[in-house]
Every structure is written in structure tokens, then in C-alpha cells.
Structure 1
Amino acid sequence: MKDLEEILKKELDCKVMKPFGHGSGEFFSYDTDKYGKVFVKLSSNADIARPMFEAEMASLNLLRELNLPNVTIAKPYKIIDLPYMRGGACLVLDYLFTESLYSNELQAKIGTAVAHMHLHNIRMKKENPDKYVDKFGFNMSTYCGRIPQDNEWKKEWLDFIMNNRLGHQIDLLRTKLGHEEAAHLWDLKIKPNLHKLFENVSVEPSLLHGDLWAGNVGMKVDESEAYMYDPAVFYGHHEYDLAISSMFPGFRQQFYDAYHALIPKAPGFEDRQRVYQLFHYLNHWNHFGGGYKSSSLSIMRNLASMLKA
């Protein structure tokens, strides 16, 4: 803790670095003379610490550029290497004191903001073609958890979702766990037929949050502002962002109603949600082990059966 504070003072050029709140092994809060209150995220994993925080910083800065309505995105200040952690690093950003998003009004405002985020690139196609992104991916790997995402640019969304997302997770399972049923379902039943779910839908690249579950949104204590954080951005199908939002409690109907008022559901929406949720279940399986095995395989069996018809 003392080592961290001395490094922060030096790197941020602060004379005052006063801890407050309840820190943990990976998260600390400080009151400073130069930046006000800051939040510090640590990682001791030398393999991913700096690239993970570089990806988060790039994601936050890109979302901040959009000036989304009714939502605050934390400003990142600096990534700092931590020699005492032997390859670890930290990210310093604005401190946002958040509560769970229980306000129905702010649920709707977040829904509207997410829709604006998804529509931004599509609007650029008409309003500022030079800034329009016509591919799927991102210019660096971003991290959904601790696993780097393959964001190599692809012209077609089907290619991206099959190979950069689902195929990548299946390959990790093969390497780590050698799981035969998952590989069999993917190789022989799902991948060859996945195109059926995209035959009647036009997919344009949208800027995505990338990890939009309820734990990554919040609100100010007085309910005056909504917050969004921990992004892992890339350009993809806007429906992808909604998949994890419904996997865990937190988002209410007001969020979805406001979102779909701007971006209505396209035919086949629910079936594609299963595909996008499969990525997150596989990602959780690769992160946390067997607890997500049965749910992952259940979705894969259902998809295989549905795509066979």
C-alpha cells in the first residue's frame, strides 16, 4: 500500500494522496490535490496488466468522445507500471461513487444512451463518411475479463462472430480442457449452419460496449446521473451488446423499452441472442471452469437442434 502511494504521487505529480473508502487487493480510492478523487485499478498479472489497461483506457476515451446523453463515462488519467509487483500495473481514473441502477428513470436513460452508442457509427456513414468504420473488430485486443479478445478486422460479421469470438473460445476450451462434446457441437452442427440466422438481416458495424452487464453500469447516489464503465469496445452487431444484459439480473424493462424505441428488434432477434449469449457462457467457462459447463453445453445443444431444422 505504501509502495503504491509513493509511486502514484510521483507518477501523477501529486503531493497529497489520501486513501478513503474500503480498498481491496485490486481496487483503491484516493483523494488527491491535483485530480480530486481518483479510482485505482491494479493487476499483478504481468502477462496482461499493461495491455489490458491500455485497452480499457482506449475504450473509455472512445466512449467519452461520443458525448452520450444522460450518462457519464469515467475519465482515465494514466497507466502506471508497478515494479514491486514484478510486471503489474495500475489504471488511474475518475472516481465515480456508484449505486446499483435501481432508478427506473435512469434505466430508461441508459437504454437511450446505449442505443445512441450503437447508432453513432451508422449515422457517421451519412453525416461524416470519413469517420465511418466499415469493418468489424477494433485496432487492438480488448479484454472481456482476463481473456484478450481477437479483434482482427473482418469485412463480414458472420466471419467475425464465428472465428474471432465463438471459434476463439472453443479453441481455448480445446487447449485447456479438451472438451470433446463442445468441439463436436461447434465443428459439425453449429458453425456450418450459423449462417441461417443471418440470412434475412443486414448487419452494420456499431460501436459496442462489449461487456454490458448490470455490474458495469450504475448511478450517482442522488439518482441524478447514470454511469457506464469497464468497457471492452469493438465494432460489431448492435444486438451482441444486449446478450449479456439479460443473462444476469439488473436491467429492467425500462432499459429495453427505451433502447428498442430507437432500435426495434429485427426478425430472428431472440435466436441470435442465444448465439451471442453462448459467447459469454463459453467465456465464463474458460475463466471460471466447470460451473458454466452445463449452461454452455445446453445452449449449444439447443442451437444445434434449432439450426438443424
Structure 2
Amino acid sequence: MSHLDQLPRELVSDLHVRAAHPLSGGDSANAFRLETPAGPLFAKTMPHAAEGVLPVEAAGLEALRAVCPEEVRVPRVRHVSEDALVLEWIDEASGGRDAATERSFGTGLALIHRARAPHVGWLSPDLPERIGSAPVDLTPTDDWADFLLRRRIEPLLREAVDAGNLDPAASGLLASLAPRAAELAGPPEPPSLVHGDLWAGNRVVDRAGANWLIDPSAFYGHREYDLAMMQLFGGFGRDCFAAYDETYPLADGWHQRVPWYQLPPLLIHAIRFGGGYGGSVMRALRRLG
């Protein structure tokens, strides 16, 4: 069964797709391996996606690809529309990651973060303002600490409380931390291009041992945003963080700031999945108090 009828017609026509094989994984999209005259490609389709979701992801991939060093690769975008995104195929390794792979990724990510970024906020004024499927305010600013608190943590916390997935006491805890927002965000640094959703599943190692970044929610912000996300669910070893720090040394106290930077992804998970994520938000807030 070719499954071509599950793909947009213009995609099949533009890329001369011969067959499509469904892939597992993903909770909000359908994934396929496409067979084309140019070789296999990866396709993600979202028939009912909010406007701009896939074009924003494609722009994030292209931004990362433009600055990625040899240590980290980013798949080339072959097709993008409101309901489909097609990328070059990655032959993913089945085995574990070794120290060399971890160090290479840490070095590569540090070099991405060192690339010049113009401001905190959006990648382009021509793109919808969203992180993943969620609308956000990405108006450019030079005040990262205020951006993180006012435009990311506070709105997400209100949404989580309103959804009934977070103890209302979280509002008071955050209010007590708000005057310390600049301290909690750490010393001012030049903005970086951040991946924005850097958990282990969005870092792929191919059969040749090369690291790849996929599925970004990219914007210009503080690099500790990515590093905190990397520690939320595990999957990155000590060698990775050591190589990062050797390449682009982190400011003193960055470990103590991790709970603050983990609040956005924890809040998003509380909103979407409920369960124990609300409790994780409360523990992070109390650790910071």
C-alpha cells in the first residue's frame, strides 16, 4: 500500500513521490518515509494545523542550518506548506551514543549559540508568532529577563492554573519570585539562536555518528533555555556539557538557574498532559524561593 492518498497532491507532484511509508512517533502529526527519484525523504503532515506551525518550524530549521558547524547537522527543507513539511532523510543509528558523539554535540551546540543573533524574539517579522502550536509574543526586545517572565512564564502559568492542571498557589509563588527575575535569568549575555525544544528526542545520531537537530521551536533568546531543557528528561551525558562549557563557557551559577529555565517546558507539559507536571512546576517554584 503506497499511502500516497494521505499526502497533499502538490507535495506528491513537486517531489515525484513514488511511495509513502508511515512511520511511528509524534503526537500531533503524521510521519512518512517518502520514496522519490532523488532518494528517501522524511515527511510530516498536519492536516488541521494552526496557521503557520509548519512554516515556522521550517524557518527554524533553516536558521539553525545557516549557522550550524560541522559537529551538528540540520536537515535540508525540501518542501513546506501549511499542512506538510518534507526534509532530507536521516539514517538514524540504532545503538547508543558514546563519549565522542556527546562531546561533538556539546561543541557544536556551543558554536551555534555563539553565532550572532540580532535581538531577543522572533526570527523574522514575516512569520507567525508561535512556539510550536502556541501563539506567543515574540516582538523583539533587548530585555531577556522581562521577556522570559512576562511573555513566557506568566502566561503559561495562568493557562495551566485556568486549565485546572496547576495548583493556584503557584501564582503567589511566582509573584514572590518576579522581583528577582533579572537575578534568576542570570548575567546579561548577547542573545543566541536557541533550538527552543531541545529534549533528547529532538537530537538524532545517524549511522555515521553525526549529530542532527530536528523539530525546533526556534527563536532568539538566552542559551541557558536550551541547556535547561536538555536536563529536564535526560539523554545528554556529562561529556556533552563539559565540551559545551569548554567551547563557550557558561556564567557562574548556571546550575542554580536551571529550575527557572525549566518552568516554560514544564508548564507547557502541565497544560497539555496534566498528570504530575503540575507538581513538577510547584517543586521548581519552591526550589527557587
TM-score by length of 1: 0.82
Distance, in Å, in 2 between the alignment partners of 1:176 and 1:44 is 26
Instruction: State the partner residue of 2:89.
Output: 95
Which of these two proteins has the greater Rg computed from alpha carbons?
A: 1
When residues 9 and 295 of structure 1 are mapped into structure 2, their CA distance, relative to the original with a 3 A threshold, is closer
Residue 29 of structure 1 aligns with an amino acid whose one-letter code is R
CA deviation vs aligned residue, 1:110-155 (integer Å, no higher than 9, x gap): 111100011111xxxxxxxxxx51x2111343434x4344322222
Tell me the secondary structure at the aligned position of residue 288 of structure 2: helix
Say if 1:11 and 1:80, in contact at 8 Å, map to a contact too: no
8 Å contact from structure 2 (residues 71, 108) kept in 1: yes
Instruction: Write the distance in 2 (CA, Å) between the matches of 1:240 and 1:148.
Output: 18
The partner residue of 1:289 within 263, 269, 274 is: 274
Query: For residues 197 and 249 of structure 1, what CA distance do their matches in structure 2 show?
Result: 22
Contact 1:142/1:233, CA 8 A, preserved across alignment: no
Q: Per-residue deviation at 1:39?
A: 0.7
* Residues 1:197 and 1:293: Cα distance change in structure 2 (over 3 Å): closer
Structure 2 matches for 1:1-309, cutoff 5 A? Answer: 1-5=3-7, 7=9, 10-14=12-16, 16-20=17-21, 22=23, 26-33=30-37, 35-46=38-49, 48=50, 50-81=51-82, 89-99=83-93, 102-121=97-116, 133=118, 135-138=119-122, 139=124, 140=127, 141-144=129-132, 146-177=133-164, 179-187=167-175, 189-198=176-185, 201-223=187-209, 225-304=210-289
- In the TM superposition, what is the alpha-carbon distance from 1:37 to its structure 2 partner? 1.0
Identity percentage of aligned residues = 28
Supply the distance in 1 between the matched residues of 2:185 and 2:282 (Cα, whole angstroms).
22
Q: What residue identity is the alignment partner of 2:106?
A: G
Structure 1 residue matching 2:139: 3-state secondary structure = coil
Residue 120 of structure 1 aligns with an amino acid whose one-letter code is A
Please tell me whether the aligned partners of residues 9 and 17 of structure 1 are also in contact (alpha carbons under 8 angstroms).
no
Contact 1:73 1:228 in 2 (8 A): yes
What is the alpha-carbon distance in structure 1 between the residues aligned to residue 240 and residue 266 of structure 2? 23
Query: Deviations 1:13-62 (Å, cap 9, x if unpaired)?
Result: 51x422347457711111101x421111122334x1x4110111000111
Q: Which has more helix, going by share of residues? A: 1
Over 3 Å counting, the alpha-carbon distance change for 1:23 and 1:244 in structure 2 is closer
| Distance of 1:2 and 1:30 partners within structure 2 | 9
Give a deviation string over 1:278-308, Cα, whole Å, max 9, x none. Answer: 221111101211320111111112212xxxx
